[in-house]
Structure 1
């Protein structure tokens, strides 16, 4: 009985550790396959070759909403890299309401990729990325490897300046 408990416990703990470490710098980002706001399909691996900022957010999250104008500014600032297919932002919404999500997209004139399954915290993508709080972001390189995470404000801008102006 004690051996069985130990094995079950170790399997549980190893699963927990794996779930907590699947978004560490140097690891491949889990695939994302969700619908865009317009209903068309999106797959993260379709952006292979680009530096991608994956921004997890929701309209009910005040810090997330407050961050959208800054992301808009950065997206506009690096519009040349977007046009040259070297940079993209993917917003992953953890909303439940399509209406609230679409209103925020319109309000902030978000023109980067927006995706969601409208499953809130129960989204398989949120689980795959180990999302426990918002806002949360990470940056992947052209091979899908995580190279930075949870950069905001000046730190995010400096990282993008450094990594996008060297290309």
Structure 2
């Protein structure tokens, strides 16, 4: 008899551990277009866990076996996409999803403290950024209706407000981290913001404000590694050594550097890299006799393909590769595994500029540093 009771108790424990209770979303949806969609995505792998057409009414849907963790509630209405973060677990989520009020967080009642933290994060965000949101909306509307005569001016104004929005986003995360130092949501938010390369010092400051337990978590350690990697490529830092050889077997040496040097991280099989090469060839002709050098660093593995593209694209500046592909120390140390990627260095190998340096700004950045302007 005791044996049967033990089996029943064990089964009861197993069943309770595998509680099939779903995550249920009860939303009032309004002011969306006829083909608008709401979806729930896992932040871990961007897997879509649920997708529903928005009905503009009282709308209910559920995820039968929710995978606990940070998630994204996403709306797609024509060309407009909006994302809201929350913590997915079993239980009831209620709120209002308004297509005309996308800056207001839609979830009002949630089943876990992690999602309650997000409600507070968005409350902080709105209180700190409302005027900015309004100004950006006006600037983007004016860009939408711009004429040929003023479109460049309107685009520049909109870009300035977008950059102010980005700075405000980081300030929002900083305020949240100060209020919730024990929350791992800050790690999630910094990862989603994705500007460790360009806001390295601010990232490190926010990270160091968190409790030690959060810093020592698996995701905390991973983010810190990314921050420190970006930190060594900040302007004023000494660039890491370039590993590998030229096609004719010469190792990299600082003596090849000139006053201003454009380091180009690329791969021969990339269509984007090939298109960039067309622009870079002309740019090199402009600067090659003006104390400027280009340095190509390839993340390729196949030497024949690498050499073939160098010849076909007429890349006459020094080229280096250790032919280790993504396992190359160059990929980790120089560009954090990004290709294509650009940065500038001086004749001593000191980084001059690398923060989100795109091909559009390479010319002006070279010119600026060549003239000695900071």
Q: Same fold (TM over 0.5)?
A: yes
Q: What CA deviation, in whole Å up to 9, does each residue of 1:99-123 have, x standing for no partner?
A: 1111111111111000001111100
Determine which of 222, 225, 228 is the counterpart of 1:18.
Answer: 228
Query: CA separation in 1, counterparts of 2:236 and 2:359?
Result: 23
Query: CA separation in 2, counterparts of 1:110 and 1:49?
Result: 18
Matched residue SS, 1:129: helix
Q: What CA deviation, in whole Å up to 9, does each residue of 1:83-142 have, x standing for no partner?
A: xxx211100001111111111111111110000011111001111224232110100122
Corresponding residue for 2:368?
162
What does 1:87-106 correspond to in 2, within 5 Å?
Answer: 87-106=292-311
Matched residue SS, 1:35: coil
Pair 1:32-2:262 in alignment? no
Deviation at 1:8, TM superposition (A): 5.9
Residues 1:16 and 1:151: Cα distance change in structure 2 (over 3 Å)? closer
The normalised TM-score by structure 2 is 0.39
Contact 2:229 2:336 in 1 (8 A): no
The normalised TM-score by structure 1 is 0.81
Corresponding residue for 2:177?
none
Deviation at 1:162, TM superposition (A): 2.8
Determine which of 76, 80, 97 is the counterpart of 2:285.
Answer: 76
Corresponding residue for 1:134?
339
Unaligned 5+ segments in structure 2 are: 1-212
The 10-residue stretch of structure 1 (31-40 or 64-73) with the greater mean CA deviation from structure 2 = 31-40
Aligned residues: 158
Structure number with greater CO (CA < 8 Å, separation at least 6) is 1
The 10-residue stretch of structure 1 (150-159 or 105-114) with the greater mean CA deviation from structure 2 = 150-159
Determine which of 308, 316, 322 is the counterpart of 1:117.
Answer: 322
Query: CA separation in 2, counterparts of 1:145 and 1:107?
Result: 31
Query: CA separation in 2, counterparts of 1:157 and 1:15?
Result: 31
Matched residue SS, 1:55: strand
Residues 1:12 and 1:29: Cα distance change in structure 2 (over 3 Å)? same
Corresponding residue for 1:41?
251
Contact 2:238 2:350 in 1 (8 A): yes
- State which structure, 1 or 2, has the greater radius of gyration over its C-alpha atoms: 2
Contact 1:22 1:130 in 2 (8 A): no
The 10-residue stretch of structure 1 (154-163 or 91-100) with the greater mean CA deviation from structure 2 = 154-163
Query: CA separation in 1, counterparts of 2:328 and 2:273?
Result: 18
